[in-house]
A and B are shown apart, each in its own frame.
Chain A
Amino acid sequence: MAQSSAKPAYNRTESSESSVTGAMETVLKPPVPSGSQIALEVPLRMQVRNLDFYYGKLRALHGVNLHIAANRITALIGPSGCGKSTLIRTFNRMHETVRGTRLEGEILLDGEDVFAQDVTRLRRRIGMVFQRPNPFPKSIFENVAYGLRINGLPAAQRGRLADAVEHSLRRAAVWDEVKDQLHKSAYALSGGQQQRLCIARALAVDPEMLLLDEPCSALDPVNTAKIEELLFHLKQNCTLVIVTHNMQQAARVSDASAFLLNGELIEFSPTPQLFTTPSDPRTEAYITGRFG
Chain B
Amino acid sequence: MSPRLIWRKGVSIVMLSLTGVCALAGVSVLLIILGYLLWYGGKYIDWNFFTQLPKPVGETGGGMANAIVGSAKLLLLAALTGVPVGFLGGVYLSEFGGKTFSFMVRYMTDLLNGVPSIVMGIFAYTVVVLPMRTFSTLAGGLALGAMMIPIAVRSTEEFLHAVPRAMREGAMALGASKWRTISSVVVPAASRGILTAALLALARVAGETAPLLFTAFGNRYWSPGWGQPIASLPVMIFTYAVGPYEDWHRQAWAAGLVLLGLVLITNIVVRTLLSRGTSPQRP
Say whether A92 contacts B173, CB under 8 Å: yes
Q: Mark A101-130, 1 if CB is under 8 A from B, else 0.
A: 000000000000000000111111001101
Say whether B164 contacts A147, CB under 8 Å: no
Q: Is A187 located at the chain interface by the 8 A CB criterion? A: yes
Q: Interface-forming stretch among A29-37, A44-52, A188-196, A231-239? A: A188-196
Q: Which residue of B lies closest to A121 (CB)?
A: B175
Q: Is B167 located at the chain interface by the 8 A CB criterion? A: yes
Say whether A187 contacts B173, CB under 8 Å: no
Say whether A134 contacts B176, CB under 8 Å: no
The minimal Cβ–Cβ distance linking B11 to chain A, given in whole angstroms, is 47
Q: Is B224 located at the chain interface by the 8 A CB criterion? A: no
| A-facing residues in B141-165 (Cβ within 8 Å) | 164
Q: Is B185 located at the chain interface by the 8 A CB criterion? A: yes
Contacting residues, chain B, for A121 (C-beta < 8 A): 175
Q: How many residues of B contact A (CB 8 A)?
A: 22
Q: How many residues of A contact B (CB 8 A)?
A: 34
Q: Is B24 located at the chain interface by the 8 A CB criterion? A: no
For the complex, what is the distance from the CA of A97 to the CA of B279, rounded to whole Å? 27
Q: Is A150 located at the chain interface by the 8 A CB criterion? A: yes
- What's the dominant secondary structure at chain B's contact region? helix
Known A-B contacts A150-B180, A190-B283, A218-B283; A136 and B171 likewise in contact (beta carbons under 8 Å): yes
Q: Is A172 located at the chain interface by the 8 A CB criterion? A: no
Say whether B176 contacts A185, CB under 8 Å: no
A-B contact count (CB 8 A): 82
For the complex, what is the distance from the CA of A147 to the CA of B185, rounded to whole Å? 12
| A-facing residues in B169-208 (Cβ within 8 Å) | 169-177, 180, 184-185, 188-189
Chain A CB within 10 A, most for which of B171, B177, B180, B283: B283
A residues in contact (CB < 8 Å) with B = 92, 94, 97, 119-124, 127-128, 130, 132-138, 146-147, 150-151, 185, 187-188, 190-191, 194, 198, 201-202, 205, 218
**Can you report 20 residue pairs joining A to B where beta carbons are below 8 Å apart?**
A94-B169, A94-B172, A97-B168, A97-B172, A120-B175, A123-B172, A123-B174, A130-B166, A134-B164, A136-B171, A136-B189, A138-B188, A146-B176, A146-B184, A147-B175, A150-B171, A150-B176, A187-B280, A188-B280, A191-B283
Taking A132-B166, A150-B180 as given, write out 15 further A-B residue pairs in contact, using a Cβ cutoff of 8 Å, ordered by the A residue number: A97-B168, A120-B175, A120-B176, A122-B175, A130-B166, A130-B173, A136-B167, A137-B189, A147-B175, A150-B171, A185-B279, A191-B282, A191-B283, A201-B174, A205-B175
